[in-house]
Structure 1
Amino acid sequence: MSTSDLQTKFNDSDKENAMDDRYEEQESDDSIVYSAKIDEILGCKTYNPDQSKDEKRWLRKEYRNLINTTEENRLEYLRPESEGLIQNIRKANSLNRKVKNTHEATLDARLLVLTCNLGVQRARRMKLDNNSFDIDSYISKLITFMGGRQMDNDSDEHLELNWEAVGRLASRFTNRVPTSDFMLGPLSIETKEREKKIRHSLNKDKNSLKEPEQLKEKDIERQENETTRNVKMVFDILGENQPINFFEFIINPESFGQTVENLFYLSFLIRDGKVSIDDDSGQPILMLCQPPTSENYAEGLIKKQLVMEIDMNMWQELIEVYEINESVIPTRVSHKQTNGRWLG
């Protein structure tokens, strides 16, 4: 190793020691109180702030070396025949007995997490097939452990196997009381047969069936022509009765539906600018007017929209407030549909 490498190594060690000293100064009194409670429970001292710095530095060095060794030999420890992980746990247990401060405990936890992750990866790589697990060899060793190989080959005496020895060996690795479980396979369960429901076809009386009404182009055109005719009728009636209150004009005291229709037809005239609503007097007053020209819009005229909501209760209240007994717009005859034709 060259002089520069040694100098670099010493510098890194000095930096780690300086960081460790700063970390020690940041330990709070809460850790001391918490450790004192644990000491009372366990009956031993788990935290010792007076532990010598040389011993703490030695512990950190050993832990860091062990962590670096584990990371460098990661692939080697994942092999089934490797005992590196077991040696890691043994060394960590030996070092943990001397840990009395939080920083060293943190390094111990980091090493434990790294070792556990490698253990999980190693377990996932295990394959219980004929190449890695020999059932015959396992049974032969199990019989030998239970004393089955101690008799002579020429003797016909049958020696009982010592199953208690296997039980005592297995009891070291489990503290759980064995319970009996059941699998679905071995149980004799009667399979429930699915009931087949017979669906009967619904017989409909062809005479009672009604074909859907089909609208023709002439029916649609007639409806459009009727809307245009009613809009013109509303325009002519307003010309004869202007100026007039907005509600007194559209409300039909005999029909709520035709009141809504009158409002619908009037909206076309207001949209086209043929009718204006003046509310300077505090009441909406309808009057005919000249539709705005393109010059008016160029001068800054802006179109506005007004959404009005009316229901049965409001309709009845307006009739009582304005004392409307007769509709200004005559009541229209309702249309009836017969055999696909609209009659009015």
Structure 2
Amino acid sequence: MTGQSEEERRALRAEQRALLDRITDRSAELSNLESDILNEERNNNNSLFKKVRFTRELGNDGENLVAISGVAVKRSAQLSQSVSQYSSSKICERLRLEYGGHEDGLWLGLGREVSSLFRTVPRLDFLCGPLQKPEKVKKVAQRRSKRNDDDEDIQETQYETVDQSTKTKRQEEATNHRLQHLLHTLKAKGAKDSPVDVFDLCVNPESFHETVENFFDLSFLVKDSKAGLAVDGDTGLPTARLTDQPEEALEKKQTVVVLGPQDIASIAQAWEISRPTLARTHPKRSDDDDDDDAE
């Protein structure tokens, strides 16, 4: 902030204020797209900026820059409004005008013109199939009472899918069958009175994907408040037990369990699991199901 006298600074500020007044007073004229005055005033401001040495004059330059920017915004708005709007009909009319009298015809003439710009001949492709995916139908959960051999009412959740394919319904039936099988297994192991070991219950040393399914099925029972999980105070291992709804329903919490094939093999060895507790019993299949699989 040196190299300039007070007189030079006052003269510079006077020129800057005069420039700001011109821009403000002639805003409409400067916004005209046909006018070159904006470029002249912008160059004048750049010339004055080269003389700036002190903060006060720098502030004046900033005010001039803001005014010039405001005029530029107005010019941009006029520029966007002045651009012609094109439509498909106008494009076709222009093509016929340019290439309609071509000796090779419209499309062949156009192709020859653009052949140097493309490696292959431009073509049109048609879209096959529906434009929208079919709407997914939500599953409807229905609860019904079922009596077991001991004449006890067991609340059973049946997941029915409305308007789904036969294959999808078969998958839902298989899930329901696994859940009921898991419930009966827990009851047979006395899980109503004493907790059972989760790993001993769910791990299948012969099948990794069935082990994963068992853990998912157990999580569904916990979600429906039909089973509860806890950690054994002596061993520190997870246990599961049957619960009564809703009196013994536990607070729902999410826990992420990471188990890989090697982890399952290590657990099976440590727990000495030779055969799975949840031996799979698949529902009876109909002849129609066999035909679907053959297809």
TM-score range, shorter chain: 0.3 to 0.5
Tell me which structure has the larger Cα radius of gyration. 1
Q: TM-score, normalised by structure 1?
A: 0.37
